[in-house]
């Protein structure tokens, strides 16, 4: 697996675009995250879902990661049950966490390949968190 693929979580989130991943090499970002989350700096960085075997930032083991491991798949889109409720959007904290992008990202990976997801992930992330992701229309300028 290339680094781009290694940073693509089974659920479709792209860890390489995540501030917690970027904070590994950006001390100022790590400090801002720690302050915003009310946690020590050492608890706000993450090497990615695959690198940490589904255990990230002190949270319980991810059910989606466990499911993928049990089914011996790399990504949820490879599953005959795709999409399932494990990928359901999150209404709470939608402005803070990117879970509502999972199915969109998985479809990009399925249709164009995981490297395409890796290449597009930061732009997708920016559009999502800046409120620029248009519903059903053309993509806006970043």
Residue 33: which H helix or E strand, with range? helix 27-37
Supply the pLDDT for residue 62: 85
Looking at residue 30, its pLDDT comes to 92
Structure tokens at 132: 């620029």
Please indicate, yes or no, if residue 140 is contained in any of the structural domains.
no
Residue 135 lies in a domain: no
Per-residue pLDDT of the chain (142 residues; tens, 9 = 90+): 565 678 899 988 888 888 889 899 999 999 998 998 888 988 889 898 889 888 887 778 888 999 999 999 999 999 999 999 888 877 676 666 667 778 888 988 999 988 888 888 878 777 766 665 555 555 544 3
**pLDDT for position 53:** 87
Contact status, residue 62 vs residue 49, Cβ threshold 8 Å: yes
**Neighbour count for residue 40 (Cβ, 10 Å):** 9
Exposure of 44 by Cβ count < 10 A (0-12 exposed, 13-18 middle, 19+ buried)? Answer: buried
pLDDT of residue 103: 85
Task: Compute the Cα dihedral for 117, 59, 73, 101 and give only its sign.
Answer: negative
Q: Is residue 134 part of a domain?
A: no
Domain of 73 in residue numbering reads as 3-129
Name 99's Cβ contacts closer than 8 Å, sequence gap at least 6. Answer: 13, 89, 90
Instruction: Return the pLDDT at 140.
Output: 45
- Is 139 a domain residue? no
CA distance 25 to 12: 23
The total number of structural domains that make up the chain: 1
CA distance 55 to 59: 6
Single out the residue of 103, 84, 23, 88 nearest to residue 57, CA to CA. Answer: 23
Q: Confirm whether 136 is domain-assigned.
A: no
Domain-embedded: residue 18: yes
Report the pLDDT value the prediction gives residue 24, as an integer from 0 to 100: 92
Asked, for residue 27, whether it belongs to a domain, the answer is yes
Q: According to the model, what pLDDT value does residue 135 have?
A: 52
Task: Tell me the CB-side half-sphere exposure of residue 139, using CA atoms within 13 A.
Answer: 9
């Amino acid at each position: 697996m290339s680094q781009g693929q290694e940073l693509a979580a089974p659920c479709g989130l792209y860890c390489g675009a995540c501030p917690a991943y970027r904070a590994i090499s950006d001390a100022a970002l790590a400090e801002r995250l720690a302050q915003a989350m009310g946690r020590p700096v050492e608890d706000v960085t993450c090497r990615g879902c695959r690198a940490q075997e589904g255990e990230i930032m002190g949270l319980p083991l991810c059910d989606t990661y466990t499911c993928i491991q049990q089914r011996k798949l790399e990504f949820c889109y490879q599953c005959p049950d795709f999409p399932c409720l494990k990928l359901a959007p999150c209404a709470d904290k939608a402005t803070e966490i990117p879970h509502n992008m999972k199915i969109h990202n998985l479809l990009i990976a399925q249709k164009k390949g995981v490297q395409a997801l890796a290449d597009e992930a930061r732009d997708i992330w920016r559009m999502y968190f800046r409120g620029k992701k248009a519903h059903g229309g053309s993509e806006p300028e970043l």
